[in-house]
Each structure stands twice: as C-alpha cells, then as structure tokens.
Chain A
Amino acid sequence: MLVIGLGVLGIGVAVALILAAFNQNLMYFYSPSEVARGEAPGNRAFRLGGMVVKGSVQRDPQDLTVRFAVTDFAQQRTVTYKGILPDLFREGQGIVAIGQLDPGGVFVASEVLAKHDENYMPPEVAQALKDGKAQAGMKP
C-alpha cells in the first residue's frame, strides 16, 4: 500500500517537473509583446497570436495576399499572408498565425487560424451589447 502511494506521489512530482520544464514549449503561441521583447525564436517558424486590429486589413487586388496587424493591446505586429482565410477571420477577431519574422520585422504567415472566444449569444444580443443598450441575461 505504502509502495503504491509513494509510486503515485513520485510520478505526480515527476509529471509536475516535466510540465514545468516544458512550460515554454506548451505555449501554443507568442503575443506581439513577447515578440517585441525578443522572446520568440528569430530563426525558425513560431506562432503569433492576437486580435486583428480594426481597420488594418488590406487585401491585394491582384492575388490572395492579405496584410493586417495583430495586437495584444500593448504591442502590434504586421502580418502578411497569402492564401484562404478561415470563415471566422475578421477585424477584431482573435487569430493565431504560423510563420516567421522577415528581416524587416514583418511576420510572414504560412497559415492563419481563427481563435474564437468563450462567449456564445444570439446575434440580436450581440448587436444589443454592441449598441450598449441591453445586457439581456449576458455578461459581455
């Protein structure tokens, strides 16, 4: 009984230590602030996450190239991407882009994923919240 208890305890501690060691690698994406502080890898691909800045999306009329900025409300980073964006991609939406920084500090994405938040509500309620009129049983 004692052996099993100690075994479980030991493995629990081992898992905790492994998780602590891998903490950085489990981070799915870096924020623009972390990139600005130079914490993101410079020479290989990484993921950049943040909100698409309102009014920043520019589409190239010739091809599928899109240029936009992502923010964590402290820092911004310009992203370029050539390809088809997910349905949820829009200004003000959280996204995760996979790619690399070019020498000019622009993030060149090879893939863009949309991240939705934990809020669910009917469109009318969302509109009402936007207009600041009603709370209608929802916390914003």
Chain B
Amino acid sequence: MLEIKNVSKSYGSKQALSDVSISFPRGEIVGLFGENGAGKTTLLKSMLKLIKFEGSITLDGESISEKNIDKLSFATAEHSFIPNLTPSAHRDFYKEHFPSFSDKRFKSLMEFFSLPDKPLRSFSLGQKNQFEVIMALSQGADYILIDEAFAGNDIFNREDFYKVLLGILGENETVILSTHLIEEVSDFIGRAVLIRSGEIIGDVSTLELMEKGDNLVSYVKRAYNYRSDRVSKALNDLTDGEV
C-alpha cells in the first residue's frame, strides 16, 4: 500500500499541494485527473522523492528510500531516458540497478511497438513516449507512475497502449496514470482521483459510478463545477445574441 499523508508542497508563494492524503492499494489502475498546474506532477514527483515536501509518503509502512525506491517506476512526458543511449543499453543499465527488471516484458513491448535499437535521440516523439513507458513497465515496479507520457501520440497509438497495459499488468501492479484524456481512459481505469489547486476534490471507483448509472465525464464535470451554459453565454456575448 502506498500511503500519502498530509503532504503539502509549495513553490515560492504558490501552493502546489495542500495537505493531500490518499492511499493506493496494489492492483489498481488509477486515473489522476486535473487541469494544468493542478498538482498532478508534483504529487507524482513527491511519491518518488524527486522533490522535497512536507508530510509523509510510505510504501508498505516504510518511507520511500534506497531500500524500496525500486518498487516505484516513472514515465514522464518530459522523458527520463538518456538520449545518447540505445534501448539495449538502457536495458543493461536497468538490469544492473533494478533487480526485478523484466527482460521478457521489455523484449515483448519493444517488438510490439517496433522500436529500433538506435540512440533514443533519433526517435520520433511518439517513439520516445513509447520507450519511456516501456522502461517504466519493465522495471519490475509495483507502482508504475505515468505522467502524461502519451501526450503527443496519436489516438491509435494510445489505444494500443491502454490495451497492452490491461493485458500485461500483474495482479499486484498498480498504475497511476496522470492525464487530461478522461474520456479516453474511462474504460480502462478502475478508480479516478481528481485534483484541483493542490487538493484532492474527488476519489471514486468507476464500478461505483457504473452502479449508480453515472459516468466518469459527468462525475468530473460535477466535481469541477463545470458550467455547461458557459459556451452559449460566451457565444451570446461575442455575437450580441445573434447565435
């Protein structure tokens, strides 16, 4: 269980996370939703201890340290691979540092996405994103944190990825998927966490929503107090009521 308790983080005067408490059991696919600057990336980076924060984050009761950091992997749209290295050189480095690295998964995913064994700097943006996710999935982590890693890929690519993800994940693996693409992932995730201005404003299982006859998009809109009349109002204002 990954537990986040009373985590706060500020960048100067801007409060990025405000007293966030949430837990993630193993074996879930979680969608982490929020607008730009809501605090999604800050929350993920806090989990990985890439940034300093107030509060506590523990994995199975122990704070994140050298002992258990290999249980967390990270794929980011900023890319964390080494551009001058080839995929096979990355594999060798990961194998050296992450004892649970899955060579089998790495090979299968490399084949699936048909990625060449050339330095990453020569890859297209889509290929770079795919590789970023391949490494996160192959590391052998229990918690796979994915931060908008498929931004810039086309819809077919993304759909392929979601299907592969569902097909390969073990029962103890948890994916925390930070994305804007709510509609697109709504069929793949089991839980949705909504974050706004550094605070968790919603946490719901998609099964629960389904049982209530609700859907994720409506739930998110309600949580964000989305005003459906704002488009017609804006158009009215702009066209002096001609529309």
**A and B are interacting partners:** no
Chain B residues packing against A (C-beta within 8 Å): none
